Structure 1
Amino acid sequence: MRDKVKTIGNLIDKQSVSFISSVDEKGFPNTKAMLPPRKREGIKVFYFTTNTSSMRVEQYRKNDKACIYFCDKRFFRGVMLIGKMEVLEDAVSKEMIWQENDTMYYPQGVNDPDYCVLRFTAESGRFYSNFSSETFEI
């Protein structure tokens, strides 16, 4: 892969679904489909919205190890990123990725106590395309 940031970034930006994984109290992975990240910084940092009251937030607070995955089913390619997930509840982070239609999920607006931001920071990844995989550091 010549330019991993460009190649993987393009794959991610074209997906309408992303998958995030957390670790439960018994040490097992838990995966969930989510909307795509609201913002990304290259292929290193990703921001998602979620409910503060969710099971995922509880799991990330106890164990910040995480994985995110993006799949291009049309061309049967994908990328898995491994890293750490932080739960952010500060006003700056919440306002940074807030969108007006979010009120359908968070009726009290950007200051809704059940609205928070998940910030994923990747450490390494694995890209699959054309029947082969490539592992890389970030």
Structure 2
Amino acid sequence: MRDAEKTIGNLIDKQRVSYIASISEDGFPNMKAMLPPRKRVGICEFYFTTNTSSMRVAQYRKNPNASIYFCDKRFFRGVMLVGHMEVLEDPASKEMIWQEGDTMYYPKGVTDPDYCVLKFVAQSGRYYANFHSETFEISQGETN
């Protein structure tokens, strides 16, 4: 892969579903389909919205180890990124990715206590395309 950030960034930006994984109290991976990230900084940082009261938030608070996955089913290629998930509840983070219409999920608006931001920071990844997999490291300076 010549330009991992460009190749993977383009794949991610075209997907309408993303998958996030957390670790259960029993030590097993838990996968969930989500809307695409609200914000992406290169292939290093990803920001998602979710409910503060969710099982996933509780799992990330106990164990921040996480992965996210994006799949282009048309061309049968995908990328898994491995790293850590942080739960953000500060007003600046919540406002940064708030969108009109979010009151459908968070009726009290941007200050809704059941609205929080998941910030994923990738450390490494694995890209699959053309019947070939490739593992790569991500430096924290890789931004879009």
User: Would the TM-score normalized by the shorter structure come out above 0.5?
Assistant: yes
**Which stretches of structure 1, 4 residues or more, deviate above 6 A after TM superposition?**
none
Equivalence for 2:122:
122
Q: Distance in 1 between matches of 2:111 and 2:60?
A: 21
Shift of 1:100: 1.1
1:133 partner amino acid: S
SS of the equivalent of 2:101 reads helix
Q: Does 1:33 align with 2:40?
A: no
Question: Equivalences for 1:38-53 in 2 at 5 Å?
Answer: 38-53=38-53
Paired residues in the alignment total 138
Equivalence for 1:15:
15
1:77-131 CA-to-partner distances (Å, cap 9, x unmatched) read 0000000000000000000000011000000000000000000000000000000
SS of the equivalent of 2:27 reads coil
Over the matched positions of the two proteins, sequence identity in percent amounts to 79
Q: Does 1:104 align with 2:104?
A: yes
SS of the equivalent of 2:12 reads helix
Q: Distance in 2 between matches of 1:61 and 1:6?
A: 31
Q: Distance in 1 between matches of 2:109 and 2:94?
A: 10
Equivalence for 2:82:
82
Shift of 1:34: 0.2
Equivalence for 1:135:
135
Q: Distance in 2 between matches of 1:100 and 1:111?
A: 14
SS of the equivalent of 1:100 reads coil
Gaps of 5+ in 2: 139-144
Q: Distance in 1 between matches of 2:57 and 2:16?
A: 22
Q: Distance in 1 between matches of 2:117 and 2:74?
A: 30
Gaps of 5+ in 1: none
Please give the TM-score of this superposition, normalised by the length of structure 1: 1.00
Please give the TM-score of this superposition, normalised by the length of structure 2: 0.96
2:83 partner amino acid: G
Equivalence for 2:113:
113
Q: CA RMSD in A?
A: 0.2
